[in-house]
Amino acid sequence: MRTARVLAGAVLTIAVAGLPCAPAFAGDFEKLEIEPSAATSGATVTVSTLACGKQGVGTGDASAVGGPSAFQLKPETHKELVIGQFKIPDVAKAGTYGIGVKCKNGKEATGDVVVGTGGSGKPSAAPSMPGKAVSPPKGPVKTGAGGTSEGSGTSEIIAGAAVLATAAVGGTLFLRRRSGGGRA
User: Mapped to the 3 state alphabet, what secondary structure does 70-111 carry?
Assistant: CEEEEECCCCCCEEEEEECCCCCCCEEEEEEEEECCCCEEEE
Task: For residue 65, give the 3-state DSSP assignment.
Answer: helix
Residue 65 has pLDDT above 70, yes or no: yes
Against a cut of 0.75, is the pTM above it?
Answer: no
pLDDT of residue 165: 93
DSSP character at residue 183:
-
Q: Looking at per-residue confidence, does 28 or 75 come out higher?
A: 75
Q: Looking at per-residue confidence, does 48 or 24 come out higher?
A: 48
What is the phi/psi pair of residue 155, to 5°? -65, -35
User: Mapped to the 3 state alphabet, what secondary structure does 7-49 carry?
Assistant: HHHHHHHHHHHHHHHCCCCHHHEEECEEECCEEECCCEEEEEE
Residue 120 has pLDDT above 50, yes or no: no
Q: Average pLDDT for residues 129-150, to the nearest whole number?
A: 58
* C-beta separation of 127 from 115 below 8 A: no
Q: What is the mean pLDDT of the chain?
A: 75
Q: Average pLDDT for residues 176-180, to the nearest whole number?
A: 76
Q: How confident is the model at residue 46 (pLDDT cuts 50, 70, 90)?
A: very high
* C-beta separation of 67 from 86 below 8 A: yes
Query: How far is it, in rounded angstroms, from Cα 51 to Cα 81?
Result: 8
How confident is the model over 14-30, as pLDDT tens digits?
A: 655 555 544 444 456 78
